[in-house]
Structure 1
Amino acid sequence: MIVLLSHLHAPTDTIRLDYDARLVRRKRLMTERGMAVMLDLPELTDLSHHAGLRLDDGTEIALEAAAEPVLVIKGNLPSLAWHIGNRHTPCQIDGDTLVIRDDHVLRAMLEGLGAQVTADTRPFHPEGGAYGHGRTFGHDPHDH
């Protein structure tokens, strides 16, 4: 049985996953060194909040966010963030910039609103939802 870890002692390999791939339940993953790992979790899980995996033999494998194409946005951040949020687009807040996944339609909209937008490739860590950290799957008032 594979165990999700909140911290690592001695990882011997790494699995890098982009934003979409970090949301899993059952999936075959490949480490940087080419080892296949079959992850079979009891429920859909965002791996962004776990440092790694411990395999049956005690081997620890680090989990990291892979670099992916993003847009780095500068300008009137409150207004720009509102427009991004209004489109339910995951967004990372990085000091004086916003970061979203690369999207030509959103880029054109943001530039039309006066934003300075540059393309980059980096790990993407968007903000969590209003009802908890990480991704949200909708709000159930009975969850309280």
Structure 2
Amino acid sequence: MAVAVAYRLRRAGEWSGAADVVELGYEERFLRRRRLMTRGGEAILVDLPQTVSLEHGDALELADGRLVEVIAAVEPLIEVRGDLPRLAWHVGNRHTPCQIEADRLLVRRDHVIAEMLRGLGAVLREVEAPFTPEGGAYGHGRTHGHSH
């Protein structure tokens, strides 16, 4: 069986009309070269020129021109409520990926982070939801360490 190859990434809002969908967790969306399986059962090989952070709503363009939409998978998370600016500062200070919403923060389940947040007065609840944390301050993607 032939494997379709994706050489190009189209960012959310730059495309329309996906032929299929691939559902990926947060860690899985950081890639350069990887074999994926679409919801429709098609194997695709992603072979991008550089490592990228795929975002919910992006699309992979296959060599034949078809598009495969990237969807953020449901993951085990912690919903954080309380003094959000203060709590977000502490989460960010630990370089922990965080999804920021008007009335809550979402972080991946981690007992150390959870204990820190409880100690700061946060109200926590375990949830299952797609995880789309904030990207780096200098464009798409993730930041690692202080070298930016």
Name the stretch that deviates more: 101-110 or 43-52. 43-52
Secondary structure of the 1:15 match is: strand
Aligned-residue identity in percent: 48
Partners of 2:56 and 2:71 within 8 A in 1: no
Name the stretch that deviates more: 131-140 or 44-53. 131-140
Q: State whether structure 2 residue 143 is matched by structure 1 residue 136.
A: yes
Q: Distance in 1 between matches of 2:97 and 2:16?
A: 31
Check 1:68–1:49 CA distance in 2 against 1; reply closer, same or farther (3 A cut).
closer
Q: CA-to-partner distance for each residue in 1:14-48, whole Å, 9 max, x for gaps?
A: 00111111110110011012211011111111111
Secondary structure of the 1:11 match is: coil
Q: CA deviation at 1:130?
A: 2.6
Q: CA-to-partner distance for each residue in 1:49-93, whole Å, 9 max, x for gaps?
A: 762122222322111111111111001112211221121101111
Matched residue, 1:62: 69
Matched residue, 1:22: 29
Please point out which of 73, 93, 96 is paired with 1:86.
Answer: 93
Name the stretch that deviates more: 72-81 or 2-11. 2-11
Check 1:22–1:74 CA distance in 2 against 1; reply closer, same or farther (3 A cut).
same
Q: Distance in 2 between matches of 1:19 and 1:116?
A: 24
* Runs of 5+ consecutive residues of structure 1 not aligned to the other structure: none
TM-score, L = length of structure 2: 0.85
Q: Distance in 1 between matches of 2:35 and 2:134?
A: 27
* Runs of 5+ consecutive residues of structure 2 not aligned to the other structure: none
Q: Distance in 1 between matches of 2:86 and 2:67?
A: 43
TM-score, L = length of structure 1: 0.87
Q: State whether structure 2 residue 47 is matched by structure 1 residue 53.
A: no
Q: State whether structure 2 residue 1 is matched by structure 1 residue 5.
A: no
Alignment length (residue pairs) = 140
Partners of 1:17 and 1:64 within 8 A in 2: yes
| CA RMSD across the alignment | 1.8
Matched residue, 2:81: 74
Q: Look up the equivalent residue of 2:128 and give its one-letter code.
A: T
Secondary structure of the 1:48 match is: coil
Q: Distance in 2 between matches of 1:56 and 1:82?
A: 43
